[in-house]
A and B are shown apart, each in its own frame.
Chain A
C-alpha cells in the first residue's frame, strides 16, 4: 500500500475533515477482473475518479497473473470469465494467503454461486447490474473490514458514524436516527460528492425488490426527515437534490 497523499483530494474533501481523512487515505489499489470491456472501462473510470489506482484483467489467465505478481487492496472478480471461473481466482487469492478484500461481481445472481463465493472467502457479492455508488460503498466497506486497524468509524466533518453499532455522533453528541435514516446517511457519507441515483438509494435501503414507485416517494420523505434532524443537530453536511436523478452529499 502506497502512502501517498494526492493534493487533489482536497478538492473532494473539504473543511476540517481534510486532515483526518487524508491521514487514513492512502492510494488504494484495485484490480478489476472482468471480461466485458464496456463494464470494465466504466468501473475503472468511476474508481479512478475516486483516486483509486486501478488495474484491469480481461480473462482468467491475466487475472491469475496479476494476482500472483502484485498486491492489491481490493479485487473485483467476475465469475464467468474466458479461460476459467472467477471462483478459482478467489480460491487462489486465499491459497496465497493474500490480504486482498475480494468482491465477486456476477450477472448470475445464483444463490449457489453466492454461497460458494462467500464460503471461499470472498468478502462480498454484488450482482449485475449494480449502481456505481453501490459498488463504491461495497468496496469501502470491504476494505475497511479487511484492514486490521480496528478503526471502523466513518467520519464526515463533525459527523462520526459507527456502522457496527449503527450510531451517529454530531460533535460527540449522539443523534438518534431510525433504521432507514441511518442507512441513508451512511450511504451518503461513504459516497461523498457523488451523484447518487435515487433508485440506487431505494435499492440500498430496500434490498433487491424495489419494484414500486412508492419506495421512491418514501426515500424522498425519509431524506426530508433526515435533513431536518441533521439540521437540528447542526451537522456540517449538505444533501442536495439533483433534479430527476437523485442526491448528492457535500
Chain B
C-alpha cells in the first residue's frame, strides 16, 4: 500500500470516530439548549397566566387545553409543593395526525381566595427523532465532503511533499552497484529528505568503495594463484619434453600435471562463481536462447555422438531475455554438459524452449537426485575430474536474475527454468 493511501486510510477511520463523538456531544448540547429555551418560555407563560388568573377569575375555569395552551384544575385544600415541574410527553396533534412531543410545565398556585389550583402549560417542542435524523443526514454529508476534500488535499500536498522522496526511490531502484555510475540524491526542500539523501549517498559511496576493493581482491587473488600454477605446469611440460626420464617417471609427471590442471579448473570455476555473485557481468543485452542453444548443441554434437547420446531441441516458442550473453551461454552449456556427462549410452537429452521456459531433460541414473545438486562441490557420481561446481554456477547465474530453477524426476531428470517477465 502506498504511503499516501496508508495515511489516508487511518485518517478516514479516525475522522469517523471524531465526527461521531462530536455529533453526540452536539446533539446533547443542542437538545439541552432547546429544552432550556422551551422551559424558559413556559416559565414566562406561567407568570403571565397566574397574573391573568388573579385579574380574571373566569380563567380559572379552563379544565382542558382547547385553544389555549394551558389548563387549570382546582385542587382540594392541602399542602402542595409550589415548585415547577417539567415533563416531556407526547400528545396527539391534528396537524400532524400523530403524537408529537410536547413539554409540559406543572405548577400549583393559589387563587385570590387562597384555593390551590394546578396549572399545566404545554409547548410544542423539538422532535428528537427528527432532529436526530436531520443531524445524521447532515453529518453524513459533512463526512463525505470532508473525506473527498481530504483525499484531494492529501493527494496534492502529499504528492508535493513526497515528490523528492519518490524521486530518491526511483534513483535508488535504478542504481546498481559496480555499474560505474555514482548515486546522486535529488534536491529536496525538506530537511529530513535532504538528510536521507545525503546519508544514502555517503553509504552507497562507501559500498561502492568496498565493492571495488573486493573486486580488486578477487582479480588480484586470481592473478597471484594463476601465475604460480602456470609456472608449475609449464615447467613440468618442459621437463617432460626434454625426454630424459624413464616412462614410469614420465607417467608420474603426467599425473602431477593432471592434478595441477584440475586445480586450475577449480580456481577458474570458483573465480567464475565469485564474479557472478559479485555481479561483475553487468553488461546485458537481449539474448535469444533458441539461437545460443542451437549453437551450443552444435558444439557438443561430437561429444554426444561419442557418448551415443541423442540430443533433440524442440522450439515451442521464442525465448528472448535480457541477460549477459556470456552468462547465458555458460548457463546453457553447463546444463547441457551436465545432462551429457551424467547420461548413459543410447540415452537422450531433450531441450524444449517455450516463450517463457527452458526445460532440459535427460536419461541417466534411474532414481531422483538429492536436493543438494545445486550446492557447491556436491557430487553424485564418481567423476574424479568433475569440479562439482557446474550446477552451482547455473544456480548462481539464475540467482543473479532472480529466475527459479526446478528439478524433478519423471523417469528422466528434468531441469526447468521459468523466465519471469521483468
* Docked pose: A109 CA to B326 CA in angstroms: 13
Digitize B240-268: 1 where CB-to-A-CB distance is under 8 Å, 0 elsewhere: 11010001001111110110010011001
Residue A210 CB within 8 A of the other chain: yes
Interface members, chain A 32-86 (any B CB < 8 Å): 36, 38-39, 42-43, 45-46, 49, 80
* Docked pose: A131 CA to B237 CA in angstroms: 8
B306–A107 CB distance below 8 A: no
B390–A211 CB distance below 8 A: yes
> Inside 8 A of B271's CB, which chain A residues have their CB?
109
Residue B370 CB within 8 A of the other chain: no
Q: Which residue in A129, A179, A216 is a CB contact (below 8 Å) of B302?
A: A179
Residue B75 CB within 8 A of the other chain: no
> Inside 8 A of B258's CB, which chain A residues have their CB?
199
Rounded to whole Å, the gap between the CB of A195 and the closest CB of chain B is 5
Rounded to whole Å, the gap between the CB of A219 and the closest CB of chain B is 10
Q: Which residue in B234, B250, B257, B269 is a CB contact (below 8 Å) of A243?
A: B250
B337–A199 CB distance below 8 A: no
> Inside 8 A of A243's CB, which chain B residues have their CB?
247, 250-251, 254
Residue B168 CB within 8 A of the other chain: no
A245-B251 contact, Cβ under 8 Å, with A132-B238, A209-B333, A211-B385: yes
Chain B contributes a number of interface residues (CB within 8 A of A) equal to 53
B268–A109 CB distance below 8 A: yes
Residue B47 CB within 8 A of the other chain: no
Say what secondary structure dominates the interface of chain A: mixed
Interface stretch of the complex, out of B35-43, B121-129, B220-228, B354-362: B220-228
A39-B230 contact, Cβ under 8 Å, with A209-B337, A210-B265, A218-B303: yes
Q: Which residue in B223, B268, B303, B326 is a CB contact (below 8 Å) of A214?
A: B303
* Docked pose: A212 CA to B333 CA in angstroms: 13
Interface residues of B (CB under 8 A from A): 219, 222-224, 226-231, 233-235, 237-238, 240-241, 243, 247, 250-255, 257-258, 261, 264-265, 268-269, 271, 281, 283, 302-303, 306-307, 326, 330, 333-334, 337, 340-341, 383-387, 389-390
Closest 8 CB pairs of A and B: A244-B251, A129-B230, A244-B254, A213-B385, A245-B254, A107-B226, A38-B231, A107-B223
Interface residues of A (CB under 8 A from B): 36, 38-39, 42-43, 45-46, 49, 80, 107-111, 127-133, 178-180, 194-195, 197, 199, 208-218, 221-222, 242-246
